[in-house]
Amino acid sequence: MLRASGRPAEALEAVHRAATIQRQLGDRSREAMALDGAGEAYRELGQADEAIAFHLRAAAVHRQLGDKWQLALTLDHLATTLTAAGRPEEAGRHWREAHNLLVGFDDARAAALQEGVTASTSGTTG
């Protein structure tokens, strides 16, 4: 909500707090979602290295948990950040992985994400 209203610095503070709370509660999935949110806030603040690090941490947890949907979302965010940081080859790898993860989903939201990932992948090399 804070990011959507153009307040990424406040959003960053909120997602850091959320990640800490979820870690204390032992909810690794929600902690990873908060880490991904931190990555998005860092990206919007123009801090690509921090954003990439948070997206990678979130992706690792989603991968460990076997959460294909959240992993695909995080990989899309990671690839978007890598592209903005001038690293299109790496981005392409993550978008291709996200695309493969989305194959098993048949709802409208997944179809829209898959369409966006496919379009993004066609603009990268590697």
Look up tokens 């990932």; give the residue. 117
Rounded-to-integer distance, Cα 33 and Cα 107, Å: 20
Q: Residue 48 has what pLDDT?
A: 96
Residues 6+ apart with CB under 8 A from 42: 12, 48, 50, 51, 54
Report yes or no: 10 and 41 within 8 Å, Cβ to Cβ.
Answer: no
| pLDDT given for residue 120 in this prediction | 86
Residue 28 inside a domain? The answer is yes
CB atoms under 10 Å from CB of 2, counted, come to: 16
Tell me the pLDDT of the chain (126 aa) as tens digits: 555 567 778 888 888 899 999 999 999 999 999 999 999 999 989 999 999 999 999 999 999 999 999 999 999 999 999 999 999 999 999 999 999 999 989 899 998 999 998 888 876 655
Specify if 2 maps to a domain: no
What CATH number is given to the structural domain containing 16? 1.25.40.10
Task: Please report whether residue 66 resides in a domain.
Answer: yes
